[in-house]
Structure formats: structure tokens, C-alpha cells
A and B are shown apart, each in its own frame.
Chain A
Amino acid sequence: MRPAHDIDVENELPEDIAAAADESRWISRWDGPWHTRPSLRILLLLIVFCVPKLLMETAIDASQRAAGFHSITHISSDLRSRLTQDTLISILAGLRGVVADYYWRDVTESFMREDWSRMRSSIQLTTMLQPNSPIFWGMGGWHMAYNVAIAKRNDKREPSLARRIAIERYWVEEGEKLMRNGLEINPESVDLHIQLAQLHLQRLKDPVTAAKLYEQASLLPGAQPFNSRLPGFILRRAGREQEALDYWRRLWARHRTHTDKDMDWPRILREIRALESKLNVPIAERIRE
């Protein structure tokens, strides 16, 4: 609209120079009283402002920690990986849940296609974005320790059975690691405890660890009563009778009354008596009803 010769001095200044001219004002001589100097007022405002700001933030952090917030939900304690995770989560702003769900679908899809390496990286991304959802850790570990491991075991492209077994073992252990990692972040999750216990029992043939995990699960809020019977049975079936009895005794001692129907105390008592007689426990040391 303006003809070419039509230039103001102000407009003649390219934007960056105009900005620099602005800046030069900051250091320019101020001829008013010293306390009205703008740069001083800005500095003063910042100082007055940052002290209560920091105090408020500290108080909020403390109250959130007290309320049991998972504020530090890092999948690793390494600072760099913590910062990576934080950046990723905040750049995705609020959409990390959606992105995590997308990758979770990808886990299922790559499972169908038997694309194991892709499945594993999708599992890792999902758990990084949603570390507080035990379901991803549990299902991810289950995929690795069961589905992938068994597929590898039966994969005839590898002719050596010994090597196939080693590969199977590797995947089972990877699944176990993943679940352990999830358990560190979600120590309250009953499901994750049980899934890891099953993994130890069925895949690693380690009933002692399995029983320990079942016991931990049974102590958490929201655990089903039958969970608390499992460690005893598992240990006895594995031939660890003394440990089984010790467990029953602990369970017995934890409860004041032994009339709760859900717990099926008569059955527990039968189990205890059988073990006591088998292990020849002196009458005086036997559990009294």
C-alpha cells in the first residue's frame, strides 16, 4: 500500500536493530531519582518475588511427598536418564498417556507379527511414559518371559536345542528384570507381585522367591485372602516343609481371631497339623487354637 520511497525513520530500522535500540535504553543514563530507575525496580520485584516463590514450592513438594505422590517416578536413578524421561513426558505435555497407549497397542500388534525386538522397545517406551501403571510392567514382563521365551524355544531356525534353551532362559530373565523394575516404582501393586511370583514359580522354577512374593502381596492392601494361603502350599509342594510351617506360623500370629470365613482357617489348621506331625514338632511348641 505504501510507495517505495515512503519510509519512516522508525520503520527504516530493521526489527533486530530496533530491539537493540530498546536494549540500549536499559543501560542508558537515567535522570530521574535513583530509586525510580526502571531496571532497579525490575530487579527489586524479582528478588521480592523469588523468595516466597521458592518457599511455596518447597512447601508444596513436601506436602505432596507426605501425601504419597509418586513425584519421582523415574525408571532409573541415573540423572541423565531421569532428565530424558522428564523432558519426554513434559514435551508430550498431557498426551503422554495417549502416546503410551499407542505404543501399548503396538506391543500387541508386534506380538501378533512375532516382531520381538520391536515389541520389546515398545514395552520400554510404554513403561517409560507410564511408569505408574503396573499393568504395563506386568503384561510386558509376561510377554517376554512367556510368549517370546516359548516362541524362541520352539524356533527351529536355531538347530541347537542347548542354544534354544539358553535363549529362552535369557528372555525369561529379561521379563523378570522388567517386572522387578516395575515393582520398585509400584511397590504397592498386588497384581505385579502376583505376576512376578507366578513367573518365578512357573518359568524360573524358584518356589522360594515365588512364595516370598506371594507373602509380600498378601500383606498389601487390596490383596485377596487366598493369596495368603498360597505361600504355604507352594513351599510344602516344593518339599520345603520347615519353611512352609514357619510361614503358617507367621500367618497365624498375624491374625488375632481365626474365625474369618474367607481365610478358610479350618483348612489352614489342617495343613499346620499335618506339617507339625510330619516334622515332629513337640506338643508344647505346636500352635494352640
Chain B
Amino acid sequence: MPPANAVEIRGLTKRYRLPWKRKVLVALSPLDLDIRAGEVFGLLGPNGCGKSTTMKLLLGLIKPTAGEARIFGEKVPSLQSRRRMGFLPENPYFYKFLNGDETLRFYGKLSGLGGKALDKRIDELIHLVGLENGRDRPLSAYSKGMLQRIGLAQALLHDPDLLLLDEPTAGVDPMGSRDIRDMILRLRGMGKTVIFSSHLLEQVEEVADRVAIFHLGIKLMEGTLDELLIDRDRTQITAAGLPSDAAGRARTEEALRSQGATSVEFTSSRRSLESLFMDVIAKRKAEARAEDARVAAAATEANSRTSAGDTK
């Protein structure tokens, strides 16, 4: 039976010594953390809080001062544990002189793939991350969002069960950011465990099953979003068509108080900027598509008319 936990961290610590200052810089205080297989786990916190350090420790890029960690029961750092992990670093840069296809081929070889299996896998991933147009382009001509996609494809090459995504949406435009969040949800649907870090809290809120909040190398809290966010004493009611004048509000408040409410606040409902942005863009896209269709139809019509004229 496979272990229920994808990641088990026990007392993992990282300190940097600054010898002549006689100071010790604590990058990560002793950390205990379990991440279940199949969940999306968000590491939250300001920059420099220990998120990246935790990921680097899991990958064996740096060595812990104390403590240990296991990935699906494999001790890290080890070749075996890395076989089951895929990593997307923050702001990834790959070899600029390679094109998308060559990049994936290179990382595929490193992951132990080869031959037909690799060709097939590359096709799948290019399709999955939507990079058909970047396949033969050198990475030097890639946009930030495309780099993030190729990075994700690279992390998924050897079909790892656990994905570590360090700030996957940093520096990406809202559209790209949306795509990446959709991708994370799709990966969860495929049964993958995803750990990702972010300092943009609302983005985490949308996709994470559970989160841990870090500050200065210390894990402050951990839990499901509901556990952390639901304020059981307060209920938010969103209603359309209520009267907005003082008398109307007083009547509504009266009604609520009669149900036992101790305090009532009125605010106009406000949507998030992101949802507005997404709506506007979606609307414009739909319009453009309609426009295209109209132009195309007109052109076809004109064509058929001229050709009809020719035959005369």
C-alpha cells in the first residue's frame, strides 16, 4: 500500500552561518509538515519566508542543517525521490539557444526517457500546456507566459506524482495566470499532488485545498481554507433589489435583528478587479470572433459573387 502522505517533513531546518558577524540566519525553523497525496497545497507568505527554501530542501539543491523529509516514503535527497518530483522554479530561464521541442527533448533525456516514448510524451505535453506555436521557436523569442508553460511541460515530462511550483504565476499577465491556475486544477484532477508557493493570497484561495502560512522561516498556521477562513460568527448576505435609502435599510436591519443578529453592516457589493478584467476580455474576444465571422462571411459572399460574375 502506498503511503497516504505524499510529503512528510520532520524537523527540517536550514540555517546559514555568517561567521565573522557571529550571526546565524534562519532560513527555515524546524518544520513539521504532512501533505496528503492528491491535494493541492499552497505555501503562503511574503518573499523570504522559507517557501523556496523548503522546496530546495526537498529537491536536495541545498542540505538541511537538521531534520529530514520523505517523498512518497523515499528519503530526500535521492535519485529515487527526484524521479517522482517535477519542479518549476521561480522565473525559469532555460537554454535560450534551444527551441521548445529541443528543450523538452533535453529534459526528457535527463529524466531517463528516450525514443518513441519521448516523442509521444513531448507531443502530449506541448498540447497540454498549449505551446503548439512555440515548438520550433527558440526560447529567446518566448514571452514570460510561454516560458512558464514550457517550464511546466518540462516539470511534467517524466509524469511525476508530485509537482513543486515556485511562484508559478509571478510576473505572468492575468490571462496566463488564469491558465496556470486552471492547469493546477486539471493536474489535481489527474491525481497529482501539487505544492505551489505564492505571495498573492487571492490566487491561492482559488486553487488550494490546504495552505500553510510562513513568515521569517516559521510556519505560522496550516489547514484547509474553510478551517482558516470561515468566520462562524458572521454571515454575509448578498441580495439584489433591496432599497438603498436610509429608511429601507432600517427596515432590513430590523428584520435581521429580529433573527438575532447583533450587528449589521451595509456595503454595496463589489466584484473583484480580476473578475471584471476576465469578463471584459472575454466579451471583447467574443466580439472579435463575431466580427471575424462576419468579415469572413462577407468575404466568402463577395468571392462567390465575383466568381459567379466571372463565369458569366
Which residues of A are in contact with B by a Cβ distance under 8 Å? Answer: 1-2, 5-10, 12-13, 17-18, 20-21, 23-25, 28
Is B103's CB within 8 Å of the partner chain A? no
User: Contact at A21–B91, with CB atoms within 8 Å?
Assistant: no
CB within 8 A of A9: which of B20, B25, B91? B25
Residues of A within 8 A of B48 (CB): 7-9, 12
> In whole angstroms, what is the CA distance A276 to B47 when docked?
108
Collect the chain B residues with CB atoms within 8 Å of residue A7's CB: 47-48
- Could you tell me if A8 and B63 are in contact, using CB atoms closer than 8 angstroms? no
Assembly CA distance A37 to B234 (angstroms): 58
Alpha-carbon distance between A254 and B16 when the two chains are bound, in angstroms = 83
* Complex-state Cα separation, A226 to B300, whole angstroms: 104
A8 touches B52 (CB 8 A): yes
Q: Which of A1, A6, A9, A23 contacts B50 (CB 8 A)?
A: A9
Q: Which of A5, A10, A21, A25 contacts B52 (CB 8 A)?
A: A10
Given contacts A9-B53, A9-B217, A10-B52, contact A21 B47 (CB under 8 A): no
Nearest Cβ on chain B to A281's Cβ, whole angstroms: 89
Closest chain A residue to B50, Cβ basis: A9
Q: Is the CB of A8 within 8 A of B47?
A: yes
The answer to whether A1 touches B47 (Cβ under 8 A) is no
Q: Does B139 contact A (CB under 8 A)?
A: no
Which of A2, A10, A20, A21 interacts with B53 by CB under 8 Å?
A: A10
Closest beta carbon of chain A to B277's beta carbon, Å:
21
Q: Is the CB of A25 within 8 A of B63?
A: yes
**Complexed CA–CA distance, A241 and B144 (Å):** 98
Interface of A is mostly: helix
Q: Ordered nearest first, which 6 A-B pairs have the shortest CB separation?
A: A24-B17, A21-B16, A9-B27, A9-B48, A6-B47, A8-B48
Q: Which of B3-39 contact A (CB under 8 A)?
A: 16-20, 25, 27
Q: Report chain A residues within 8 Å CB of B91.
A: 1-2
Asked if residues A21 and B50 are in contact (CB atoms below 8 Å), the reply is: no
Interface centre among B17, B65, B91 (most CB of A within 10 A): B17
- Tell me the smallest distance from the CB of B25 to a CB of chain A, in Å: 7
Interface hits, B209-246 → A, CB 8 Å:
217
**Interface range, B side:** 10 to 19
**Residue from the list B17, B27, B63 in contact with A10, Cβ < 8 A:** B27
Give the docked Cα–Cα distance between A12 and B23 (Å): 14
Instruction: Give the one of B20, B25, B53, B91 with max A CB within 10 A.
Output: B25
Asked if B171 is an interface residue, CB under 8 A from chain A, the answer is: yes
CB-CB < 8 A to A23: which residues of B? 19
Q: In angstroms, how far is the closest chain A Cβ from the Cβ of B63?
A: 7
* Assembly CA distance A159 to B49 (angstroms): 90
Assembled-state Cα–Cα distance A28/B14 (Å)? 13
The answer to whether A20 and B25 touch across the interface, beta carbons within 8 angstroms, is no
Task: Report A148 CB to chain B, min CB distance, Å.
Answer: 60
- For window 249-297 of chain B, which residues contact chain A by CB distance below 8 Å? none
How far is B49's CA from A12's CA once the two chains are assembled, in angstroms?
12
Task: Return 12 A-B CB contacts under 8 Å, by A number.
Answer: A2-B91, A5-B47, A7-B48, A8-B47, A9-B27, A9-B50, A10-B52, A10-B53, A13-B16, A20-B17, A21-B16, A24-B17
Q: A2-B91, A12-B25, A12-B48 are in contact. List 7 more A-B contacts (CB 8 A).
A: A5-B47, A7-B48, A9-B25, A9-B27, A10-B53, A17-B16, A21-B16
Residues of B contacting A18 in the complex (Cβ-Cβ under 8 angstroms): 16
Q: Which residues of chain A have C-beta atoms less than 8 A from B63's C-beta?
A: 25
B171 and A1 form a contact (CB under 8 A): yes
Contact across chains for B17 and A21 when beta carbons are under 8 A apart = yes
Q: Which residue of A lies closest to B19 (CB)?
A: A20
Return A32 CB to nearest CB of chain B, in Å. 11
Specify the chain A residue showing the minimal Cβ separation from B17: A24
Beta-carbon contact of A13 and B19 below 8 Å: no
* CB neighbours of B19 from chain A (8 A): 20, 23-24
User: When the two chains form their complex, are residues B17 and A13 in contact, meaning their CB atoms are under 8 A apart?
Assistant: no
Nearest B residue to A12, CB-CB: B48
**Bound complex: CA of A10 vs CA of B48, how far in Å?**
8
The CA of A8 and the CA of B61, in the complex, are separated in Å by 15
Task: Chain B residues near A1: list those with CB within 8 A.
Answer: 91, 171
Give the docked Cα–Cα distance between A264 and B65 (Å). 91
**Cα-based distance from A7 to B18 in the complex (angstroms):** 18
List B contacts of A10 (CB < 8 A): 27, 52-53, 56
In the complex, A2 Cα to B90 Cα: how many Å? Answer: 11
Cβ-closest chain A residue relative to B65: A28
Closest residue to B14 on the A side, CB-wise? A9
Cα–Cα distance between A84 and B35 once the two chains are bound (Å): 66
Q: Give A6's nearest chain B residue, CB to CB.
A: B47
CB closest residue in chain A, given B26: A9
- Residues of A contacting B171 with CB < 8 Å? 1
A18 CA / B16 CA spacing, docked (Å): 8
